[in-house]
Structure 1
């Protein structure tokens, strides 16, 4: 059995309170949960219940194959398709489902599960055991580490830095900006208006007052995403970009895997850029700068095809596919690294909520008078034992 951390109800509730604060603080920085194409509120709301009902079993199976702390260490560094959104989601997404199912249970629409305490205990226990070796800096979140995340080891940063080509002209800067922005926009669409395909780590100190942000782009080509056949001609599955900034630029990385900077347009102050293809086993293969226009052109074609395809989906299909992105996509780095992804039944919706709760989300939620406001506390608390 995997080694676990003894957590009584008092400590569990303190950890839930930590997640309340963490989600609340990060929510102040995010954009709204609205989209002109995809019903984001509906699928993020429903996916929490799928995660609450199913992630504990999936993670327990991962734990049987590779214990969480060992897996966290293995998933450090570029090329694992792991962004900081993944540890952030480990608790907050299913905890949101915990709260939602509590409310639906009060309405008589779906019973709450009868092992709430065990689920909360396992999710927090797994997160602690996984995230500490993954971060490897003595902290469990960017929020309590002054908005820093350094999962790339020094030798990786040296490789990215030494291969970086200088940004010396306005044309160089425009080329770099268009490449980075083009990949981000494409993955934002492919992941149905979420940032799961793009993640930043850093800042990493460099000589002479400079620093680097490492930006990873995941599942650019045909992948686990069911509609990614539109990307069959994209030549790279994953890319790692080293962004070297001039002295005086301030970049901080949040728990939502985004960089907040002063000045706000930090890419205007790029000094150098490198692009690598991460291979299995940790190998980093440099991508020639002359390839970037062709990569971007292939991505733009895939983006146009994806947009046309998504416009043919019904509302319910959009909610189902969005739920798939959250429910499966946030587990993908874990289940694929462990080698059990093929074992999992990823079908939706879960029988526990299929007949009563799913139609509420699949049919469209009413507009909320409070918009996307986050209320504190977000999550329930466990009752004292005995």
Structure 2
């Protein structure tokens, strides 16, 4: 079956990359945040434009390597990043708001505990990594993503360093009234600077977030990308082969979520890359076996690799593609919404371990996915059975570890400091304050109502006060 194209919409998505274009609206909601009394912000390209216009510093524009290697941000830069991340979190998550609620795993509870834990604990660990490899070394870690697939140095993990650890962590603690707006400024600076360096090293275009570049994450080096493109197989729309490819993608994606306690840290998209024939390519990493989690033993038993990578070729003419976004949580959105009918090519790769050399990453012919799919399904069934037997408290702390450990794990691995973080910094221990918060988050609808409202409205991301001391930490508990 051949999809009929819609000529009036052909290649209109390319207009989104023209400087004067404001993009499409993917949602009707608006964002106010700290811009009280000003025109509310919209989603997408237009929202990014207005944020840049309102910024007091140049930190949201293209920055230089010299800027990134500076030891810290100014107060205006910190507040501009705080405001931008608040909007970016809203822009990214509101369309996925229902994803934060799971009938099986208490996601909202584990998320807020992890947010706060990250804010307290990550700064000293990030400082340790920087001390070990140097500021340039942090940029180099980000740059490794340019020649790898099946790597967790990706948009969602990089974004989480600042948006989650700093942004949502600080927002949660402010909402709990555990800290004030001018507490932990030095630590906030540490987290945002670490994020900036990783992102700058990965992108190498002066931006740090996909939303700053009209939702593009075109990070792979051309010669490396060609090795992927050369292995694409043609997929006739509605053919058994296309169905086999999309079915495997769906099954592996489900397991990647479940192995990460029902969150999207197991998924990472990059792109869109324009191919010589005019089609676009999305590269999707699906992490179906993360060995640091004890529950991943069922994935080991099934013989699954650390990650599958799906190379997905989409025909924009067949869809009448108007806009495509690869947002900062590594997720592809398109208009029209359903791009599956436009998939006309694909390839599947497996990376056995997180550090398997690229020369040893294996291609799995699409016709051989029939042998691979049962392994994914078997692990998924056993994972559901395992998770369903865990009590609520175990599920909450397991999810907390997924956020708190997995979000910083790729950089610990690449810097060679994971063991040091475990042994000398007690990475897997839970800070006593956060342990006590376990009992607070269930009161007065804090996890289900207060925090989501503060996070999604942007009202919880209070600015640092005028004249605040950049050196200030938490000086007293009163």
1:135 maps to: 203
Q: Equivalent residues in 2 for 1:339-378 (5 A)?
A: 339-343=416-420, 344=422, 345-354=426-435, 356-361=436-441, 365=445, 368=448, 372-373=452-453, 374-378=456-460
Post-superposition shift, 1:348? Answer: 4.4
1:81: which partner in 2? Answer: 152
Query: Deviations 1:233-284 (Å, cap 9, x if unpaired)?
Result: 2332222221111142433211111101133221211111111234633324
**Mean Cα deviation higher: 290-299 or 39-48:** 290-299
Contact 1:234 1:302 in 2 (8 A): no
Cα distance change on mapping 1:337 and 1:291 into 2, 3 Å: farther
Q: C-alpha distance in 1, partners of 2:419/2:447?
A: 38
* Alignment partner of 1:124 out of 187, 192, 207: 192
Q: Which moved more, 1:147-156 or 1:316-325?
A: 147-156
Residue 8 (str. 1) matches residue 74 (str. 2): yes
Relative to structure 2, which stretch is displaced further, 111-120 or 26-35?
Answer: 111-120
Give distance in 2, aligned partners of 1:38 and 1:122.
Answer: 32
Larger helix proportion of the pair: 2
- The residue number in structure 2 matching 1:321 is 398
Matches within 5 A, 1:215-226: 215-218=284-287, 220-221=288-289, 223-226=291-294
Aligned to 2:412: 335
**Contact 2:244/2:366 (<8 A) preserved:** no
The aligned counterpart of 1:153 is 221
**Partner Cα separation in structure 2 for residue 11 and residue 316 of structure 1:** 39
- C-alpha spacing 1:75/1:166, structure 2 compared with 1 (3 Å): closer
Q: CA deviation at 1:46?
A: 0.9
Could you tell me how far apart the structure 2 residues matched to 1:362 and 1:319 are? 12
Question: Hey, what does 1:53 align to over in structure 2?
Answer: 120
**Aligned-pair distance for 1:366?**
6.2
For 1:202, what is the secondary structure of its paired residue?
strand
- Give me the TM-score of the superposition, normalised by structure 1: 0.91
Partner of 2:111: 44
Partner of 1:385: 468
Q: Residue 370 of structure 1: CA displacement?
A: 7.7
Task: State the distance in 2 between where 1:97 and 1:320 align.
Answer: 16
Question: Retained in 1: the 8 A contact 2:271–2:282?
Answer: yes
- Could you tell me whether the CA contact under 8 Å between 1:173 and 1:268 is conserved in 2? no
Pick from 225, 232, 237 the counterpart of residue 164 of structure 1.
Answer: 232
Tell me the distance in 2 between the aligned counterparts of 1:331 and 1:293: 35
Deviation at 1:229? 0.3
User: Greater shift after overlay, 191-200 or 60-69?
Assistant: 60-69
Q: Secondary structure, in 3 states, of the residue corresponding to 1:297? A: helix
- Partner of 2:277, secondary structure, is helix
Shift of 1:359: 2.0
Distance in 2 separating the partners of 1:138 and 1:242? 26
Q: Which residue of 2 aligns with 1:237?
A: 306
Deviation at 1:294, TM superposition (A): 2.0
* Counterpart-to-counterpart distance in 2, 1:367 and 1:13: 26
Alignment TM-score, normalising by the size of structure 2 = 0.74
Note the residue ranges of structure 2 that are not aligned, 5 or more in a row: 1-67, 470-478
Unmatched 5+ stretches in structure 1: none
Q: Deviations over 1:105-128 (max 9, x none)?
A: x4xxx5679961101111121111
Inter-partner Cα distance in structure 1 for 2:227 and 2:391: 46
Mapped to 2, the partners of 1:314 and 1:52 lie a distance apart of 26
Q: Cα 1:127–1:245, aligned 2, differ >3 Å: closer, same or farther?
A: same
* Paired residue secondary structure (1:252): strand
Give the 5 Å matches for 1:11-26.
11-26=77-92
Partner residue, 2:170:
98
RMSD: 2.4
